[in-house]
Amino acid sequence: MSETTVAAPFPGVFYRRPDPASPPFVEVGDTVDAGTVVGLIEVMKMFQEIHAETSGRVSAFFVENEEAVDAGQSLLTVE
């Protein structure tokens, strides 16, 4: 089974939820399609959606909600 890693395209703060009162975009075990929003990265008060690059099941997250990330850092995998 092949895994695809979704990486941060730029540095910022990664958010797993659209706002503090909402559930996460996706959880481990969820099935996603290519293009599904899996999180947000905030850079200078601007929020950019992060999308799954392939269809499959989310198998792992490597960062927590509201964690600072670097460009190229692995965020999650889809298998």
Q: pLDDT tens digit string along 29-72? A: 999 999 999 999 999 999 999 999 999 999 999 999 999 999 99
pLDDT value at 1 more than 70 = no
In CATH, the number for domain 4-78 is 2.40.50.100
- Give dist(CA 56, CA 41) in Å, integer: 22
pLDDT, tens digit (0-9, with 9 covering 90-100), for 14-39: 999 999 999 999 999 999 999 999 99
Euclidean distance between CA atoms 79 and 29, whole angstroms: 10
The DSSP letter of residue 23 is P
